[in-house]
Amino acid sequence: MNLHHLKYFLVIAEEGSLSAASKKLLVGQPALSAQLKNFEEWLGVELFKRTGKRLHITPSGEFVLKYARAIKNLEDELLVNLQHSDEMGKKELILGAQESVPKTIIAQAISKIKNIRSVRLKVFEGTGEELFASLNQGRIDFFIGNFKPLNQGKEMYYLPLAKENVSVWGAKKFHALKKGFPKSLDGKPFILPGLQNPVRHDFEKVMMQKGIGFDVSVEAQDTALQKELAARGEGLLLMGEDSVSAWVCSGRLFKIGDFPEIHEHYWLGMVKRTIDNDYMKSIIHAF
């Protein structure tokens, strides 16, 4: 058995047919079929049942698949850790920052990481989905975000960074809503993040419990866009105080009221590796 056997088997299992796996691997179908047969003979078990051109994995195949994925993850992990090993003279980590996280929180996390170890950091911003895909594929070392994905792909560490109290903010034309808050919000337009955002979920739950209706005027993930739209009077904003402080100081946004039941949580997330490198261990312990 060699790594090629495992790699070919893994792709065949994921693609469900030899022809699709052949195209993905850029290996001829007869050669791929021969490699699969050799692997099955070496293991002494049947990995797939053939139904026409489709392959259906057997219980033995499912068992072997768990090991194939674990070995592939370990191979990926080796390549990532090798890039940061002291022996190679490289001390660089790549941080993915979710666009909706306040820059002050990102900056605080960067300062803390750099105080732990002398490293060079590269920072990339993106959506939560983009960052989790990059994390699973080993393109970034860790990320800062405000929600955990439902389908995580790999086992994760989530290290708490910060917690913000959430309030309602609006342009001057909504200033009168301070009186009678939160009942005054009934039927009013809101600029909210997507449904996968925990704050959106908590807000809808609290409003339902209080019997208060509201209108989703705009749904947007980008917090800068949310604040700009709110300042233009397009709707009310649900956000932590640190995130809107500059807009409040400039007089473009005003606090309408607080929701003590709702908090925004921020996390430093990273994939749990079989063998963590020294830099990752230091960060895990510090947070």
Write the pLDDT tens digit of every residue in 56-95: 999 998 999 888 888 887 777 677 666 655 544 446 778 8
Q: Is residue 181 part of a domain?
A: yes
Instruction: Identify whether residues 155 and 182 lie together within a single domain.
Output: no
* Burial (Cβ within 10 Å: 0-12, 13-18, ≥19) of residue 182: middle
Helix, strand or coil, per DSSP, at residue 151 = coil
Instruction: Identify whether residues 103 and 13 lie together within a single domain.
Output: no
**Ordered DSSP codes for 13-26:** HHHSSHHHHHHHHT
Predicted confidence (pLDDT) per residue in 135-171, tens digit: 877 788 888 988 776 555 567 778 888 888 999 999 9
Give the pairing of strands 156-170 and 254-271: antiparallel
Asked if 257 and 147 count as a contact pair (C-beta separation under 8 A), the reply is: no
Domain CATH code at residue 106: 3.40.190.10
Split into its structural domains, the chain has a count of 3
Asked if 239 and 166 count as a contact pair (C-beta separation under 8 A), the reply is: yes
φ, ψ for residue 284, nearest 5 deg: -60, -45
Which pLDDT band, with edges at 50, 70 and 90, does 177 fall under?
very high
Domain CATH code at residue 17: 1.10.10.10
Structure tokens that stand for 160 in this block: 């708490």
Which pLDDT band, with edges at 50, 70 and 90, does 217 fall under?
very high
Instruction: Identify whether residues 223 and 95 lie together within a single domain.
Output: no
Nearest to 243 by CA among 268, 258, 223: 223
Query: For residue 203, what are the domain limits?
Result: 164-264
Instruction: Identify whether residues 111 and 92 lie together within a single domain.
Output: yes
Upper half-sphere CA count for residue 34 (Cβ side, 13 Å): 5
- For residue 227, is pLDDT > 60? yes
Q: Is residue 27 part of a domain?
A: yes
- Which pLDDT belongs to residue 52? 76
33, 50, 72 — which closes off a domain? 72
Q: Is residue 77 part of a domain?
A: no
Q: Is residue 79 part of a domain?
A: no
Give the pairing of strands 188-192 and 214-219: parallel
Q: Is residue 81 part of a domain?
A: no
Instruction: Identify whether residues 30 and 45 lie together within a single domain.
Output: yes
Q: Is residue 80 part of a domain?
A: no
Instruction: Identify whether residues 168 and 244 lie together within a single domain.
Output: yes
Nearest to 240 by CA among 225, 252, 227: 227
Instruction: Identify whether residues 237 and 206 lie together within a single domain.
Output: yes
What is the C-alpha separation between 178 and 239, in angstroms, rounded?
16
Instruction: Identify whether residues 197 and 115 lie together within a single domain.
Output: no
Query: b/e map of 138-164 (b: 16 or more CB within 10 Å)?
Result: bebbbbbbbbebeeeeeebbebebbeb
Q: Is residue 249 part of a domain?
A: yes
72, 98, 128 — which closes off a domain? 72
- Which pLDDT belongs to residue 125? 86
Instruction: Identify whether residues 152 and 176 lie together within a single domain.
Output: no
Nearest to 232 by CA among 168, 185, 169: 169
- Which pLDDT belongs to residue 137? 75
72, 107, 123 — which closes off a domain? 72
- Which pLDDT belongs to residue 81? 63
Instruction: Identify whether residues 20 and 66 lie together within a single domain.
Output: yes
